[in-house]
A and B are shown apart, each in its own frame.
Chain A
Amino acid sequence: MDETTLRLNKLNKKYGSHTVFEFDHWEVKQGIYLIKGINGAGKTTLFKIISGQIPFHGEVAINNITLKQQPQTYRAMLSYAEAEPQYPAFLTGNELLEFHLNIRKAERKPADNLIEEFKMGDYMKNKIESYSSGMLKKLSLICAFTGHVKLYILDELMITIDQDSIEVLYTLIKKQLQEGKIFLISSHQELDYTKVPMNGIFQIDNQQLKLC
């Protein structure tokens, strides 16, 4: 099994004159990493940079495949579940999931298992506009765990979901870790480190990612 590596080089991200990130090199290998920082420190910005959602200066690469050189191959290797996901309200859960499955050329069966585990079966036919914030979060997690990706980015993974779903999530993360994946997560809730042992905790401080 090849070890997955995420590498960020010469990263510079500014909002107007405010610099959020400025560093030369940051690299993580297979494992689970917690990104910490106060509100507004730049956790979501970092995740959006890595997932290719916002412009930035520098280079991000997974296993030497860079976002700027091979955007599609790069994006096929990662999955990003946003803190507060927003989807077209007129779509049903199933339609959104099918969209993800088609894009990732993934099988439906594992997603069906997740639907069952997250107890979302009764709602997948409903329009997203009728979803509660917890259901929306579960749907975003189901979509995030479709296909064969190398890097999972889970922003505020535990907000709005119930305890049973958090247990499902822990099991899911553990299983994927055994397959050599990288997890970047952020959470303001206390994580159970006995269930998801961290390989590293990074603090966003002074535009850098510092190991705690």
Chain B
Amino acid sequence: MLRLWLKTFGREFFAQHAGLFLFLFYLIFGAVPPGQLKGYILSLGITINSSPVALGIFILAMFLFSLKSLLFIQKLSNTPVYNFVKTSTAATKKIQLQNWFILYLFLHSPLVLFTLFVIGTGLYGHFYLSAAALTGSVILIFSSLPVLTFRTLNYTFKPTKKLILLPEIAIKKPYWTWPLYYLLKKQTLALIVCKILSFLLFKGIIWMFADNGNDIRIYLLSLLAATISHCILISMTLRFEKTSGNFINSLPVNYGYRLSSLFGFLLTLMIPELLFYSKLSGLQVINTLLGILFSAAVLLVLQMSLYFINNDAERYLKYIFILLISSIMAVITGLYFPFSILLLILGISYHRYLYKNNSLS
């Protein structure tokens, strides 16, 4: 049973999150020269141990990742393809818990290895309290995840009670809002994590260049980082459109409607970041329009590149990297306006080509 779990859940988890892992890896270690990597990792471990804020953020990230993996397993188990998982409930409780424990350990392996390193650094640097907090968190995570999964699968006959009954408000859902609803309803955690990451990156770049004064390029770089951090959500919505939204291809929908719906979705997704950007850049109309144009162009190219590479996570990362570097160069050299126009032309041309060839999902 364990081998099957690792081959199905394990492989699917890493295949779906390869982009996220590599993106985080680039984000944390990408800018460090190879010669300084050892010292950087060591100081990162010491910072997490010595700063209560850093420790809190790290533990929060651990719990968020655990929640993500738990929801991933639960969601997958409820799909018809994974119906075979239900047969595992015939095994003894001990075996079931054991297998889920090893599976979660496998899913968390990159995080566990890094956490063990941080605990080791804490003990070596006499930060016993931090090391104890981290150890406690790891124990709590790995004792609760298998039990929660066990309960979900074995007690399906128990009716669930809704603690909070929110009234259902009937709101019209135009076509362009469907990907947003999908993210809100079905990928809530991914949306929250992505938005947190987006704000952290946005703020981080502003702080990094705090002494450079009021420069539109810094705000655009912040907006770029926030925009790129939505790459996972773009990939998720494309998957949704390819499955649940594919039927629209046989309906008489004109090209303008498809394109405006896409822009409607992309820009609505970026509203909070665009508001922050607009406020920082002095609420000037020109600057705000520039930000909207730049952000929309980058997101459009992200989605089009996914079409181009057929949603291949590994190649997607390379495209993100190329887009990131070229966008940074365009912003630094002050060529952000022609660059945005160029991206828009490329993105729209490819989008139209896909529409014409019935390849748009």
Contact = CB atoms under 8 A, between A and B. Distances in A.
Interface core residue of B247, B254, B255 (most chain A CB under 10 Å): B247
A55 B250 contact: no
A52 B359 CA distance: 9
B326 interface: no
A88 B178 contact: yes
B243 interface: yes
Contact of B244 (A52, A79, A89): A89
The size class of the interface chain B forms with chain A is: 20 to 34
Interface string A81-123: 0100111111100010001100110000000000000000000
Interface stretch (A38-46, A65-73, A182-190): A65-73
Given A55-B358, A91-B173, A103 B250 contact: no
B251 interface: yes
Nearest to A140: B247
Interface in B305-361: 355-359
A76 B357 CA distance: 17
A82 B251 contact: no
A54 interface: yes
B182 interface: yes
B181 A52 contact: no
Contact of A88 (B182, B250, B358): B182
Contacts of A68: 356
A86 B358 contact: no
A181 interface: no
A5 interface: no
Interface in B157-206: 172-173, 175, 178, 181-182, 185-186
B252 interface: yes
A53 B250 contact: yes
Contacts of B243: 86
Contacts of A51: 249-250
Contact of A78 (B244, B246, B250, B358): B250
Contacts of B359: 54-55
A90 B250 contact: no
A79 B240 CA distance: 22
A78 B250 CA distance: 8
Contacts of B249: 51-53
Contacts of B245: 88
Interface core residue of B186, B240, B358 (most chain A CB under 10 Å): B358
B37 to A, nearest CB: 42
A80 interface: yes
B307 to A, nearest CB: 12
A54 B254 contact: no
Nearest to A49: B358
Nearest to A75: B252
Contact of A103 (B172, B253, B255): B253
Interface core residue of B172, B244, B250 (most chain A CB under 10 Å): B250
Given A51-B250, A72-B253, A104-B252, A89 B186 contact: yes
B247 A87 contact: yes
Given A52-B250, A75-B253, A103-B253, A87 B244 contact: yes
Interface in B248-274: 249-255
A55 B251 contact: no
Interface string A30-62: 000000000000000000000111111000000
A72 B255 CA distance: 8
Nearest to A125: B170
B24 to A, nearest CB: 29
Nearest to A68: B356
Contacts of A53: 246, 249-250, 358
A2 B322 CA distance: 55
Contacts of A103: 251-253
Interface string B222-242: 000000000000000000100
A195 to B, nearest CB: 26
A187 to B, nearest CB: 19
8 contacts: A51-B249, A53-B358, A56-B358, A75-B251, A88-B178, A88-B245, A95-B173, A100-B251
The 8 closest A-B pairs by CB, nearest first: A76-B252, A51-B250, A75-B252, A80-B250, A53-B249, A88-B244, A55-B357, A90-B185
Interface of A: 51-56, 67-68, 71-76, 78-80, 82, 85-91, 95, 99-100, 103-104
Interface of B: 172-173, 175, 178, 181-182, 185-186, 240, 243-247, 249-255, 355-359
Given A75-B251, A86-B244, A90-B173, 15 more contacts: A52-B358, A53-B250, A53-B358, A54-B359, A72-B252, A75-B252, A79-B250, A85-B247, A89-B185, A89-B244, A90-B185, A91-B173, A99-B175, A100-B251, A103-B251
